[in-house]
Chain A
Amino acid sequence: MAFLSLSTVSKYFGPKVGVEGISIDVNRGETVLLFGHNGSGKTTLLRLLATLTRPSEGTISLQGTEFSRDRPTQRGELGFVAHETYLYEQLTALENLRLHARLHGVDPNRCEAQLDAVGLTDRGNDPVSEFSHGMAKRLALARATLHDPALLLLDEPFTGLDEESLLRVTDQLRELEETTVVFATHDVDRGFRYADRVLVLDGGQLVRDIDTAQCPGPDAIKQQYVNAPRQS
């Protein structure tokens, strides 16, 4: 049984296609890179996996159990770092983490350790409004991994980060050996280093499922898809 299973999942926004007919199985502990042009459906797919939006058609199952409004506890298995940080600017870093600890029924004493893991130990009592983009993103990663999710979803985790922040984030990702990670990025070179599989999306459809062990490298993907014309 696949850890995460999507069966002919489609999402439509009126006449516009978000994603269409996506069927994939992801094994536990796999790291999957979603790759595609802007508007190819990466963010929509991640939001579907995070249950922030529901599929128009098809089903998504986690550990054999279909996502449903009647089973909200399934969200305890999910962690999501989106484009936005989901943080309250007027609260301090620790207050933000403690809020999410309470939401997930996690011991709030874990928050200090989480801050430490993303290199923000000294900034715990500073309001998020004083944080740089990179610091806020690291704090968002601490928020998303606070409850040890089995499935971690990341939307453009490397965008807008300086070298120090990039190192912190990538170190964090390396430590998540047990966690199944699905992430979207335009940074194919960096993403390829962590991914076991690359799913190429175009026009909301899955056009390639590539095993990185069988692929010569990120340049092959870039050559084939970055410069390729988009589907409508």
Chain B
Amino acid sequence: MIRQYLRVVRAIAAKDLLLEARGKRRANGAAVLALLIVVIFSFVFVRRVDEQAVIARGGLWIALVFATTLALSRGIAVEDDNAAIEGLMLAPVDRSAIYLGKVCSSAVFVTAIGWVTLVAVTVFLGTPFEPALLVQLALVFPLAAIGFSAAGVLLTALTLNSQVNESLLPVLLVPLVVPVILAGIELTSLAGGPFWLSEWFRILLVYDGTVIVTGWVSFEFVIEA
């Protein structure tokens, strides 16, 4: 039973990544949006603000959150075509498997957007990131991506049948992921001690855990509505 459940999670995640690799519906839009936000940041702030590192951190996470919102919104659109999500709902396992599968694929995708945005920030804001910070971000990006995806997949499922899906998602998602944004900004700097002992890292872990459990428990009710 658990093996079949995990098989469904893996099948759904693999299907999403295959669809993305083939159509690049999300990647192109999200990458271009992230790039545009970073470019606008560079025009507005680079010559006017002294603390470049602060601008770089803010630009990175603001670009990432809006690119993620766009990506999540397009990610659920593919399930709306031909009502494909209902085909997944017929699988003989608990429907939370659909949730976990989509969170996994979205988290991989959002992590990738994070690295693309980081490159854009380095190039356009002229802020080099130290190797130690890159190692730190190698853990922070996936954890933040899980937080964004866990909240985003639940909200997109909630708004699946809504006519205002595209516009409603940012309105609901951005306030909900404020802890991830704040933790991400704080963890995009070298504080001196081990970052995994910082309170922001703990906040990120607790947030991820809380939202995943909430989504896992409630997804079946949300998707049936």
Binding site for B on A (CB under 8 A): 50-54, 69, 72-76, 78-80, 82, 84-91, 95, 99-100, 102-105, 143
Report the separation of the CA atoms of residues A79 and B91 in the bound assembly, to the nearest whole angstrom. 10
Interface centre among A86, A88, A95, A103, by most B CB within 10 Å? A103
Residues of A within 8 A of B81 (CB): 88-89
B3 CB to closest chain A CB (Å) equals 9
Chain B interface, DSSP helix/strand/loop, else mixed: helix
Known: A75-B91, A88-B19. A52 touches B8 (CB 8 A): no
Question: Are A82 and B19 in contact, CB atoms less than 8 angstroms apart?
Answer: no
Question: Are B84 and A88 in contact, CB atoms less than 8 angstroms apart?
Answer: yes
Question: Are B94 and A87 in contact, CB atoms less than 8 angstroms apart?
Answer: no
Q: Is B7 an interface residue (CB 8 A)?
A: yes
Residues of B within 8 A of A53 (CB): 224
A190 CB to closest chain B CB (Å) equals 24
Q: Is B199 an interface residue (CB 8 A)?
A: no
Residues of B within 8 A of A76 (CB): 92
B216 CB to closest chain A CB (Å) equals 14
Q: Is B83 an interface residue (CB 8 A)?
A: yes
Could you give, for residues 78-99 of chain B, a 1 whenever the CB lies within 8 Å of some chain A CB and a 0 otherwise? Answer: 1001111011111111110000
Question: Are A72 and B92 in contact, CB atoms less than 8 angstroms apart?
Answer: yes
Residues of A within 8 A of B202 (CB): none
Binding site for A on B (CB under 8 A): 1, 4, 7-8, 10-11, 15, 18-19, 22-23, 78, 81-84, 86-95, 220, 224
Interface centre among B7, B8, B19, B92, by most A CB within 10 Å? B92
Closest to A136 in B: B82
Question: Which of the residues A85, A102, A103 comes within 8 Å of B82, measured between beta carbons?
Answer: A85
Closest to B87 in A: A86
A104 CB to closest chain B CB (Å) equals 6
Question: Which of the residues A50, A54, A73, A89 comes within 8 Å of B90, measured between beta carbons?
Answer: A50
